[in-house]
């Protein structure tokens, strides 16, 4: 190394090149998770391996920008443990403001006091407004009624903004504290996202049909027999969405409209997207019951030139075939051209993940961020 171009930092015992900005981070809390730097230089991507910090000691990290790095005029950044669920916070559990510098060379020393864990803690003032749309919303396609909820941004009443919309299945398990198998805690996760200005979205939560849940989410003739899924999809698409667009300030276009769910709710959401790509531009599919349709066919004529953005998740401790099935489904989406850009499909696999609300809860904010707010500067 050319010592004429080197400064030595004794306390960390590492050589520092004077070309390019060098960031040194210390932290009061530490664990085995890696630390990333994200900011306005990489569209705030939180798990960008190009910006993975190197651990250089006990609770100490560093990152050096290359000498030819294309800096924005003012560099804005934060530190995370891999995503916004584990972002830096201060000693009182509050969000930290963006860090900034105009420097392109030299040493920038930073310190993190605490890190969020699974999006907590959250602030009550940022919780979404939970509104019961109806106890008995009519489903003419099935000659039934259903309880349906809307979760609106916390400041919906004080704003004139219009928002993207995500339609989610199995509302009983999304934010109900007394749910038998736990819940996704989407209200709490949305509160933290909103605090970081990346969660301004309307969630329409549709309760399942209790004992008829599987039948209602089963599309066509499958290994489970003949289902009512086609009629259910027509309800959400032709009846519920027009009502929501009429009664709430929504962004109606496909690129701002998503549908999702888990297990059988994930399966019916897949079919919703495949059959109506002109309506749903975002799919959030967790642990889908693809075994129900061993030979799922994708109609290439339904492919849309605007492309569909799809977030897939599976756990390694769910079933023997879960990961195999979801990888195969991803390959089919690409090979048939339903997803034209590989960057528009994200497959997240948790090797320890089980088939439960706990794991879907952890994945929910990551999926919402990637689907709707990936380009948002926070």
Q: What is the mean pLDDT of residues 15-23?
A: 73
Positive/negative CA dihedral, 232, 234, 236, 239: negative
Dist CA 107 CA 372 (whole Å): 35
Report the pLDDT value the prediction gives residue 300, as an integer from 0 to 100: 72
**Statement: residue 79 has pLDDT above 80:** yes
- Cβ atoms within 10 Å of 246's Cβ, excluding its own: 9
Instruction: Check: CB of residue 326 under 8 Å from CB of residue 344.
Output: no
**Statement: residue 301 has pLDDT above 80:** no
Tokens of 30: 């530490």
Here the contacts of 29-35 (C-beta below 8 Å, separation 24 or greater) are 29/59, 29/112, 29/113, 29/114, 29/115, 30/58, 30/59, 31/81, 33/81, 33/82, 33/86, 34/81, 34/82, 35/61, 35/79, 35/80, 35/81
Dist CA 160 CA 277 (whole Å): 28
Which of 198 and 308 is assigned the larger pLDDT? Answer: 308
Positive/negative CA dihedral, 277, 208, 191, 202: positive
Residue matched to tokens 């004077």: 18
**Statement: residue 65 has pLDDT above 80:** yes
**Statement: residue 1 has pLDDT above 80:** no
Mean model confidence pLDDT for the chain:
90
Residue matched to tokens 């756990």: 315
Question: pLDDT grade, residue 320 (50/70/90)?
Answer: confident
Instruction: Check: CB of residue 236 under 8 Å from CB of residue 124.
Output: no
Question: pLDDT grade, residue 319 (50/70/90)?
Answer: confident
Our CA dihedral for 302, 305, 306, 310, rounded to 10 degrees, sits at 50
- Cβ atoms within 10 Å of 311's Cβ, excluding its own: 24
Total count of residues recorded for the chain: 378
Q: What is the mean pLDDT of residues 344-358?
A: 92
Positive/negative CA dihedral, 67, 73, 74, 79: negative
The share of the chain scoring above pLDDT 70, in percent, equals 93
**Statement: residue 337 has pLDDT above 90:** no
Question: pLDDT grade, residue 6 (50/70/90)?
Answer: very low
**Statement: residue 141 has pLDDT above 90:** yes
Report the pLDDT value the prediction gives residue 32, as an integer from 0 to 100: 86
Question: pLDDT grade, residue 15 (50/70/90)?
Answer: low
Report the pLDDT value the prediction gives residue 375, as an integer from 0 to 100: 59
Residue 110 CA, chain-centre distance (Å), reads 28
Report the pLDDT value the prediction gives residue 295, as an integer from 0 to 100: 85
Dist CA 277 CA 331 (whole Å): 18
Among the listed residues 105, 52, 44, 102, the one whose alpha carbon sits nearest the alpha carbon of residue 78: 44
Name the range with the highest mean pLDDT among 87-101, 280-294, 360-374: 280-294
pTM of the predicted protein model: 0.81
Report the pLDDT value the prediction gives residue 119, as an integer from 0 to 100: 73
Least confident of 196-200, 316-320, 364-368: 196-200
**Statement: residue 131 has pLDDT above 60:** yes
Report the pLDDT value the prediction gives residue 7, as an integer from 0 to 100: 41
The share of the chain scoring above pLDDT 90, in percent, equals 71
Instruction: List, for residues 89-128, the tens digit of each pLDDT value.
Output: 999 888 899 999 999 999 999 999 999 887 778 889 999 9
Instruction: List, for residues 166-205, the tens digit of each pLDDT value.
Output: 999 999 999 988 777 778 999 999 998 888 777 799 999 9
**Statement: residue 143 has pLDDT above 60:** yes
Q: What is the mean pLDDT of residues 150-163?
A: 97
The secondary structure element, H or E, covering residue 204 is strand 202-206
Report the pLDDT value the prediction gives residue 117, as an integer from 0 to 100: 82
Instruction: Check: CB of residue 338 under 8 Å from CB of residue 308.
Output: yes
Helical segments of the chain, H only: 186-195, 213-217, 229-234, 241-247, 264-275, 322-335, 357-372
Collect all residues with Cβ–Cβ distance below 8 Å to 158 and sequence separation of at least 6: none
**Statement: residue 13 has pLDDT above 80:** no
308: helix, strand or coil: coil
Tokens of 108: 């920038």
Which of 154 and 342 is assigned the larger pLDDT? Answer: 154
């Amino acid at each position: 190394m050319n010592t004429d171009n080197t400064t030595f930092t004794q306390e960390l015992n590492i050589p520092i090149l004077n070309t390019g900005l060098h960031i040194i981070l210390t932290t009061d809390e530490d664990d085995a998770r890696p630390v990333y730097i994200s900011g306005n230089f990489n569209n705030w991507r939180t798990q960008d391996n190009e910006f993975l910090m190197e651990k250089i000691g006990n609770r100490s990290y560093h990152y050096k920008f290359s000498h030819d790095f294309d800096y924005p005029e003012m560099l804005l950044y934060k530190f995370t443990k891999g995503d916004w669920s584990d972002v830096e916070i201060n000693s009182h559990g509050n969000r930290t403001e963006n860090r900034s510098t105009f420097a392109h060379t030299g040493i920038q020393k930073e310190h993190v006091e605490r890190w969020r864990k699974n999006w907590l803690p959250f602030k009550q003032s940022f919780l979404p407004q939970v509104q019961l749309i109806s106890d008995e919303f009519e489903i003419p396609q099935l000659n039934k009624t259903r309880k349906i909820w809307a979760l609106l941004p916390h400041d919906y009443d004080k704003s004139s903004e219009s928002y993207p919309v995500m339609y989610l299945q199995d509302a009983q398990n999304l934010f109900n504290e007394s749910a038998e198998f736990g819940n996704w805690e989407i209200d709490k996760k949305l509160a933290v996202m909103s605090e970081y200005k990346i969660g301004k979205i309307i969630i329409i939560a549709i309760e399942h049909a209790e004992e008829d849940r599987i039948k209602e989410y089963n599309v066509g003739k499958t290994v489970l027999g003949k289902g009512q899924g086609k009629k259910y999809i027509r309800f959400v698409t032709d009846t519920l969405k027009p009502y929501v667009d009429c009664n709430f300030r929504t962004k109606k276009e496909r690129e701002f409209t998503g549908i999702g769910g888990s297990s059988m709710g994930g399966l019916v959401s897949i079919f919703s997207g495949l059959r109506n790509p002109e309506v749903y531009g975002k799919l959030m599919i967790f642990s889908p019951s693809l075994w129900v349709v061993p030979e799922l066919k994708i109609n290439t004529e339904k492919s849309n030139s605007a492309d569909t953005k799809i977030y897939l998740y599976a756990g390694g401790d769910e079933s023997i075939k879960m990961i195999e099935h979801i990888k195969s489904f991803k390959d089919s989406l690409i090979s048939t051209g339903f997803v034209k850009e590989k960057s528009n499909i994200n497959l997240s696999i948790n090797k320890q993940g089980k088939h439960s609300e706990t794991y879907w809860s952890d994945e929910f904010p990551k999926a919402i961020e990637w689907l709707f707010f990936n380009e948002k500067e926070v």
